[in-house]
Amino acid sequence: MAELSLTNLTKSYGQTPVLRDVSLDIAHGEFLTLLGPSGCGKSTLLRILAGLEVQDSGNLSIGGRNVDGLRPRARDVAMVFQSYALYPHMAVAANMALPLRMRRLSAWQRLPLIGRLLPGTGRTKAEIETAVASTAEALGIGHLLSRKPGQLSGGQRQRVAVGRAMVRDPAVFLMDEPLSNLDAKLRVQMRTEIKELHKRLGVTFVFVTHDQAEAMTLSDRVAVMLGGELLQVAKPQDIYADPADRRVAEFVGSPKINMLKAVVRERGRAETAGATLTLPVEQPPGTQLTLGIRPEAFQLAGRDRQDVLRGYVRLVEHLGSDLFVHLDLPGMDEPLIARLPVEQAAEAAVGRMLELTVPTERLLVFDEAGRRVRHSAHVVSVREYAR
Ligand SMILES: Nc1ncnc2c1ncn2[C@@H]1O[C@H](COP(=O)(O)OP(=O)(O)OP(=O)(O)O)[C@@H](O)[C@H]1O
Ligand SMILES: [Mg+2]
């Protein structure tokens, strides 16, 4: 059974649609990442899951229970915010204890003087203190409990925010770009910690980021979001190697995937950038297509090869382990980028003409609407026709 089930969720702010018909099932214990550029609606979707916003239409269930209309506190979820949202006047311990105090103590019990006199208050408070201390210990912030957020580094604040979510022991963690305020080195370190945390807790994580490296390294599945729409939900390697949509292919991968305009000339062959390439699918002659080619899919052609792309080297970027070679090809507005091994630096010098091949199965074919073409259209073959 899915831990989270999103069915046809939509949301607009005024006239502006922010979420368009979002449907998604997230399994128990899964690490799912929402990946998309700034403004695509990631935080809005997460806030709807947390119960901090209400969708205009569609349903949401958590743990098999419909939670529409259920207040945030009544849902079995905890959220780590983009800004951490720690209370500056409260010490770390109090910040971390807050969700438990709100849930386990009544309004009367939370009062400083009267609360102490009410039955059970002392015991519950002690339990909360123990839970906070052991969570803080697990996150390596046990020594910081009496500090205020302003006296912490970015990474420590981030841990406190995670700790505050952890003490609630939720079935689902919602994390909104929790690493975006950290410097590059710390980000990589915290990435590992979040992954370990997920493994240790074994609960469902929904993680939001616009950083593809983060999404690719952390997730069981990645949901690529653009303009309020989920374009593809798949394993990280499939998002990269087997994109369902041109926009997914272009959003993921650095340097960007090469996109070449092509026209089908005959069965399974298309003309592009001065070459004729064999396609992995057959389409009727005259069909306009776009071919997506990852930079690392290119190989230097041997002699007398057909199916080669020819271009002049305009620029070479040395990366130590590899070369990014920029080539000018006939009829292309932007240079083509090929990733080649450093051993080929001599051949790939600026000004030289290179001949490149691409294995047919590494050509990603997109139709005019940008959708991936995976199957051959039925074309009557010459042999069938002659029969
Ligand atoms: N309360 C609001 N009122 C009006 N518009 C809003 C509100 N909250 C968000 N928006 C708009 O909705 C769109 C999606 O916002 P959202 O915060 O979900 O994006 P995001 O994907 O989280 O972006 P980022 O990566 O920058 O955090 C944006 O265009 C934003 O301006
Ligand atoms: Mg956001």
Residue 247 lies inside a defined structural domain of this protein: no
Ligand located closest to 45 CA: 1
For ligand 1, atom 30, which residue shows the shortest CA distance? Answer: 39
User: Both 32 and 141 in a single domain?
Assistant: yes
User: Both 171 and 308 in a single domain?
Assistant: no
Please give the Cα distance from 39 to 44 (Å, whole number).
Answer: 9
Looking at residue 371, the DSSP 8-state letter turns out to be B
CB 128 within 8 A of CB 116: no
**H or E stretch at 65:** strand 65-66
Q: Taken in order 53, 54, 56, 62, is the CA torsion positive or negative?
A: positive
Q: Is 44 in the pocket of ligand 1 (CB under 6 A)?
A: yes
User: Both 228 and 340 in a single domain?
Assistant: no
Indicate which atom in ligand 1 lies nearest the CA of residue 41: 18
pLDDT score recorded for residue 304 = 64
Residue of 176, 5, 157 lying closest to 78 (CA atoms): 176
The SS3 call for residue 306 is coil
Q: How many CB atoms lie within 10 A of CB 348?
A: 21
CB 326 within 8 A of CB 316: yes
User: Both 173 and 295 in a single domain?
Assistant: no
Q: State in Å: Cα 42 to ligand 1 middle.
A: 8
Residue 249 lies inside a defined structural domain of this protein: no
Give the total number of structural domains in the chain. 2
For ligand 1, atom 10, which residue shows the shortest CA distance? Answer: 13
- Residue where one domain finishes, among candidates 241, 265, 294: 241
Containing domain of residue 283, as a range? 255-386
Please give the Cα distance from 279 to 290 (Å, whole number).
Answer: 11
User: Both 285 and 228 in a single domain?
Assistant: no
Ligand located closest to 13 CA: 1
CB 291 within 8 A of CB 260: yes
Please give the Cα distance from 53 to 226 (Å, whole number).
Answer: 20
Divide the 387 residues of the chain into consecutive groups of 10 and give the mean pLDDT of each group.
Answer: 90 95 96 96 96 95 91 87 86 89 79 76 83 86 91 87 87 91 83 90 94 94 97 97 96 95 92 93 94 96 79 94 94 94 92 94 96 80 51
Please give the Cα distance from 137 to 163 (Å, whole number).
Answer: 10
User: Both 218 and 259 in a single domain?
Assistant: no
User: Both 161 and 40 in a single domain?
Assistant: yes
pLDDT score recorded for residue 121 = 77
Residue 291 lies inside a defined structural domain of this protein: yes
Please give the Cα distance from 326 to 340 (Å, whole number).
Answer: 11
Structure tokens at 123: 């015991």
- Residue where one domain finishes, among candidates 215, 241, 267: 241
Q: What are the backbone angles phi and psi of residue 170, rounded to the nearest 5°?
A: -80, 160
Residue of 216, 167, 169 lying closest to 191 (CA atoms): 216
Q: How is 264-305 classified by DSSP, letter by letter?
A: EEETTEEEETTEEEE-SS---TT-EEEEEE-GGG-EE--TT-
Indicate which atom in ligand 1 lies nearest the CA of residue 42: 21
For ligand 1, atom 17, which residue shows the shortest CA distance? Answer: 43
Structure tokens at 126: 């002690």
User: Both 210 and 267 in a single domain?
Assistant: no
pLDDT score recorded for residue 118 = 77
Residue 234 belongs to domain with CATH number: 3.40.50.300
Ligand located closest to 22 CA: 1
For ligand 1, atom 4, which residue shows the shortest CA distance? Answer: 13
Residue of 86, 68, 45 lying closest to 174 (CA atoms): 45
Q: What are the backbone angles phi and psi of residue 7, rounded to the nearest 5°?
A: -125, 115
Please give the Cα distance from 130 to 128 (Å, whole number).
Answer: 5
